[in-house]
Amino acid sequence: MKPADFQKKILTWFDQHGRKTLPWQIDKTPYRVWVSEVMLQQTQVNTVIPYFERFMQRFPTIETLANATEDEILHLWTGLGYYSRARNLHRSAKKMAGKIFPATLDDLQTLPGIGRSTAGAILAIAFQKKAAILDGNVKRVLTRFCGITEGLSEKFTLEKLWKTAESLTPEKRIADYTQAMMDLGATICIRGKPHCEICPLEKKCIAHKLGIEKNLPIAKLKKTLPVKQATFFILQHQQEFFLQKRPPVGIWGGLWSLPEFTGFLAEKDISGVCWQQFNLKPQHMRMGQTFRHTFSHYHLDILPVFMKIKKKPSKIMDNDQQIWYNLDVSQTIGLPAPVKKLLYDAHDSLSKIE
């Protein structure tokens, strides 16, 4: 199929079925497009929408984002995952504050967390400049359309996909085309069982002709994720819970979390560890149910231990960044979603043993 024919089919489909009222498509600015594209990395549109709206309400400009604290930003990001994206937005905002928003592929890629595809999407959608994209949705559409049976992890495959994406990208209506390709992959050419019967590319799609659309793209074989174990201590004094800030890099970097012990502790050992680690004796204690939280590189099985203490010490453990957090008082801090859930569960868990 000639590029012009491909583009016509994609744009005709977009005019009839494409998404045109997403929050970042309204009152479109480079800033709003940039934030949305970063949020959409590894995350579906429906999940992103409420986070984007709250983020824009709190940080309507690059300057407000640059002047915010990391805790304020991570607080609004809680539950969205991949928190390095939030920290990269903050770093980029500080770099861009008071300057003209970058409008070239090279300049955009100097910003933390911006790769070739994200930079292309920003250029196309915000600036109407010709630039190809190759996010997960577009890879899937093009791999099936071209019948590419080599694995996506192969360098040759990616180079071939980029050349294809660039050759098919139009000079005009670039923003609509870019959104259309993302929409097609997200709503029609989906993982598993694509909706080929309503796809504008059905008749020319090689994978569909060969009946192998469900098998493509061929991704790198997933490795079995290792499993780690940790005991989380939920220390409560009256209505407050003890939290400490994690290091700026690594898992949950820069977020506030609970003291933890590597491995699962037996109930008989809890009091001794609590005294050794925190120099505290719990007034009440209850073992919670273990649950699993999955990161990109491993599973973490968490055993929560709920403890009430009679006297609140000024400092616990050798960590200068620690607070007593009150759920009833609005505090702008970033909390990992599992930790936030544990804190709210703690009220019920401890009330049952009083």
Residue 339 binned pLDDT confidence (cut-offs 50, 70, 90): very high
Share of the chain above pLDDT 90, in %: 77
Q: For residue 161, what is the DSSP state?
A: H
Q: What value does the mean pLDDT take over residues 8-28?
A: 96
**Can you tell me the distance from the alpha carbon of 103 to that of 332, in angstroms, rounded to the nearest whole number?**
33
pLDDT score at 313 = 73
Q: Does domain 3-215 have CATH number 1.10.340.30?
A: yes
Q: Does domain 227-351 have CATH number 2.40.50.140?
A: no
Burial label for 329, CB within 10 Å (0-12, 13-18, 19+), is exposed
Q: For residue 319, what is the DSSP state?
A: -
**159-174 CB burial, b ≥16 within 10 A, e <16:** ebbbebbeebbbeebb
Residue 317 has pLDDT above 70, yes or no: no
Residue 354 has pLDDT above 70, yes or no: no
- pLDDT tens by residue, 155-200: 999 999 999 999 999 999 999 999 999 999 999 999 989 999 999 9
Q: Is 53 labeled as catalytic in the residue annotation?
A: no
**Arithmetic mean of pLDDT over the chain:** 92
116-127 helix and 30-39 helix, angle to the nearest 10 degrees: 140
Residue 265 binned pLDDT confidence (cut-offs 50, 70, 90): very high
pLDDT score at 153 = 84
pLDDT score at 278 = 80
Residue 300's φ and ψ, nearest 5 degrees, are -120, 115
- pLDDT tens by residue, 207-218: 999 999 999 999
Residue 71 binned pLDDT confidence (cut-offs 50, 70, 90): very high
3-17 helix and 174-187 helix, angle to the nearest 10 degrees: 70
Question: If we measure between CA atoms, which residue out of 182, 172, 209, 138 comes closest to residue 17?
Answer: 182
The residues spanned by each domain of the chain are: 3-215, 227-351
pLDDT score at 344 = 87
Q: Tell me how long the chain is.
A: 354
pLDDT score at 121 = 98
**Can you tell me the distance from the alpha carbon of 53 to that of 194, in angstroms, rounded to the nearest whole number?**
30
pLDDT score at 221 = 66
**Can you tell me the distance from the alpha carbon of 97 to that of 55, in angstroms, rounded to the nearest whole number?**
17
Of 48 and 281, the one with more pLDDT = 48
Residue 184's φ and ψ, nearest 5 degrees, are -60, -45
Contact between 120 and 107 under an 8 Å Cβ cutoff? The reply is: no
**Can you tell me the distance from the alpha carbon of 100 to that of 173, in angstroms, rounded to the nearest whole number?**
24
Q: Which of 37, 70, 72, 213 is catalytic?
A: 37
